[in-house]
Amino acid sequence: MSDFFAHLLGLLRVEALSPRHQALFAAARTQQSAFARHATLESVLTALADAREETYPEREALSRALVAEMQASSSPAWTASLVSAYAPMLRRLRRRLLANTLPREDLDQLVLSTFLSVSRAFPLSRWGDWTAVRLRQQTAREVFRYLRKERAEQHETYTQAQLAEWLPDARSAAPVESPKRPSVRPSFVKRDAVLVHLARATLPRSDVDVLMATVVRREKLRAYVRRLVDGDTSEAERTYQRLKRQRTRLMQRLRAQAGDAVAPPSGGG
């Protein structure tokens, strides 16, 4: 979890507990029976943090009351309060996210915006129980659905015609999985073309073959290993682990070289 995400949750808690929202909460106490015994929003958040089994009925009622007020009002008090109440869940979800396709700050925003979107659309009239569990499950489901879509878009597979145009050796390459899409983002074409050019110039043929299969043609490394090692499970696993480490080191080195290769020339005096 990024430091920014923890900082953002802290700011939202400060907003939730701001004295300027006290009048708003006092008015809500007359409408929401779950708030009746609580003099402040801080008292509500304290009760929601009590995870003992016997407190579940009250926590359920408080959660539903917060969601109802958030859906009915545009005040930031309810948004901040609901996020603060579910901060432990949001932290756990954020820690699960390992996505190279998005910057850390974008992942922070994804978790928060998805949770708030799910909360605004939560059907209180249809689902009368297990509110916290449903919010958690729906939020995680939507976050991972978005990341899967983003990852698929950023790993589009090249067509054979494109491979033949950019990389002449690809004409005779063994066919792999059918391409997911016929189009490719220009930034990825440029990146991979540079990497393959550098690989051919600096690496042994065996290393180039690995990169061509797994970087350019998007073949899974395990599938590539199965083509190399047929039938011997233990040998296939050893080969897979070796090539995985080898490919990681190669990609780090090639990306550093690619950065130098595509960097604009510095101005000279």
- Which residue has 């910057």 as its token pair? 103
What is residue 254's predicted lDDT score, i.e. its pLDDT?
62
pLDDT digit string, tens, across residues 21-39: 999 999 999 999 999 999 9
Distance, in Å, from the CA atom of 130 to the CA atom of 244, rounded to the nearest integer, reads: 43
Q: Are 60 and 33 in contact (CB under 8 A)?
A: no
What is residue 104's predicted lDDT score, i.e. its pLDDT?
82
Distance, in Å, from the CA atom of 20 to the CA atom of 22, rounded to the nearest integer, reads: 6
Report the chain's terminal Cα–Cα distance, integer Å.
45
Number of residues in the chain: 269
Q: Buried b vs exposed e over 64-93: b needs ≥16 C-beta within 10 Å?
A: bbbbbbbeeeeeebbbbbbbbbbbebbeeb
Of residues 23 and 207, more confidence is placed in: 23
Distance, in Å, from the CA atom of 224 to the CA atom of 246, rounded to the nearest integer, reads: 14
The DSSP code sequence of 3-68 is: HHHHHHHHHHHHHHT-GGGHHHHHHHHTT-GGGTT-SSHHHHHHHHT---GGGHHHHHHHHHHHHH
Q: Is the pLDDT of residue 173 over 50?
A: no
CB neighbours (10 Å) of residue 132? 18
CB neighbours (10 Å) of residue 179? 17
Of residues 176 and 2, more confidence is placed in: 2
pLDDT digit string, tens, across residues 224-240: 777 777 666 777 788 88
- Listed in sequence order, the residues at least 6 apart from 4 whose beta carbon sits closer than 8 Å to its beta carbon are 104, 105, 108
Distance, in Å, from the CA atom of 68 to the CA atom of 84, rounded to the nearest integer, reads: 16
What is residue 28's predicted lDDT score, i.e. its pLDDT?
96
What is residue 97's predicted lDDT score, i.e. its pLDDT?
87
Provide the percentage of residues in the chain whose pLDDT is more than 90: 43
Among 111-120, 224-233, 258-267, name the one with the lowest average pLDDT: 258-267
What is residue 183's predicted lDDT score, i.e. its pLDDT?
42
Provide long-range contacts, Cβ within 8 A and 24+ apart, for 40-47: 41/16, 41/17, 41/77, 41/81, 42/17, 44/81, 44/85, 45/13, 45/16, 45/17, 45/81, 45/84, 45/85
Q: Are 131 and 67 in contact (CB under 8 A)?
A: yes
Of residues 8 and 163, more confidence is placed in: 8
What is residue 181's predicted lDDT score, i.e. its pLDDT?
41
Tell me the Cα Rg of the chain. 26
CB neighbours (10 Å) of residue 175? 7
Q: How far is CA 170 from CA 128, 159, 193, 224, in A?
A: 58, 10, 13, 16
Give the pLDDT mean for 165-179.
44
What is residue 12's predicted lDDT score, i.e. its pLDDT?
93
Give the pLDDT mean for 253-264.
54
Give the pLDDT mean for 100-105.
73
